[in-house]
Amino acid sequence: MADALLAARGQDLPPQPVGKNWVSRFIQSQPELQTKWTRKFNSQRAQCEDRAVIAAWFKLVAETRQTYGVLDQDIYNFDETGFAMGVAATLKVVTSSDRVGRAVTIQPGNREWVTAIECINASGWCLPLFVILSGKAHQSSWYQGLPLNWTVAVSDNGWTTDQLGVEWAKHFNQHTAARTAGVYRLLVLDGHSSHATPEFD
């Protein structure tokens, strides 16, 4: 672009192309500009950050609450989070100053995928966790040290499925029906396919 602008000035001599530092110097000379590191962002998530979409969503929630008289403590939000068991995160550690090479952390060899479905209401009460492990059948070792009210389910890959989405809906109903303060409960959820089945509805 800068080279095209130079050429458009129409000087007699052919213009020299801009130097390799032109962009950074130009940005430094313009107080209204700055550079930032970018991060990868899913296009669906980007669409969810549209102000008009967000405003319409909050308006719909407010209208739904008013129409059905939904109380704060009867509003629930849930989502899934997945992680690989046994994968250690990068850590900052203190080591000897004469140490050569990078510090390493030993992690277990188990890297199976686990999904945890969490749910909380607007007053801060949480449902017991619903955990999905990779497997065909339950193993007694999975339950050692787990709270008794957690639910453990299995799928081939440790991800949620349409059937497990329905099982979670039953789990939700079992733990929230008796706690309902008003007449209706409002469950806020994302558009995951396991929440968009006729059985889940």
56: in domain: no
Mean pLDDT of 166-194: 88
Least confident span in 2-6, 164-168, 191-195 = 191-195
185: in domain: yes
**pLDDT computed for residue 11 by the predictor:** 61
How far, rounded to the nearest angstrom, does the alpha carbon of residue 186 sit from its chain's CA centroid?
Answer: 21
User: What total number of domains does the chain contain?
Assistant: 1
Mean pLDDT of 32-56: 79
30: in domain: no
pLDDT of 194 > 70? The answer is: no
Q: How confident is the model at residue 113 (pLDDT cuts 50, 70, 90)?
A: confident
**pLDDT computed for residue 174 by the predictor:** 94
**pLDDT computed for residue 80 by the predictor:** 87
67: in domain: no
Mean pLDDT of 106-112: 60
**pLDDT computed for residue 43 by the predictor:** 75
121: in domain: yes
* Residue owning tokens 């787990």: 146
Q: Which residue has the higher pLDDT, 76 or 5?
A: 76
2: in domain: no
Q: How confident is the model at residue 94 (pLDDT cuts 50, 70, 90)?
A: low
**pLDDT computed for residue 198 by the predictor:** 62
Using CA atoms, how far apart are residues 96 and 142, in angstroms rounded to an integer? 39
Measured CA distances, 53 to 30, 50, 60, 186 (Å): 33, 5, 11, 20
pLDDT of 177 > 90? The answer is: yes
Output the average pLDDT for the chain.
80
Query: Which domain does 84 fall in, by range?
Result: 72-195
170: in domain: yes
pTM for this predicted structure: 0.62
Measured CA distances, 197 to 5, 132, 133 (Å): 56, 19, 22
144: in domain: yes
**DSSP per-residue letters across 154-167:** EESSSS--HHHHHH
Q: How confident is the model at residue 101 (pLDDT cuts 50, 70, 90)?
A: low
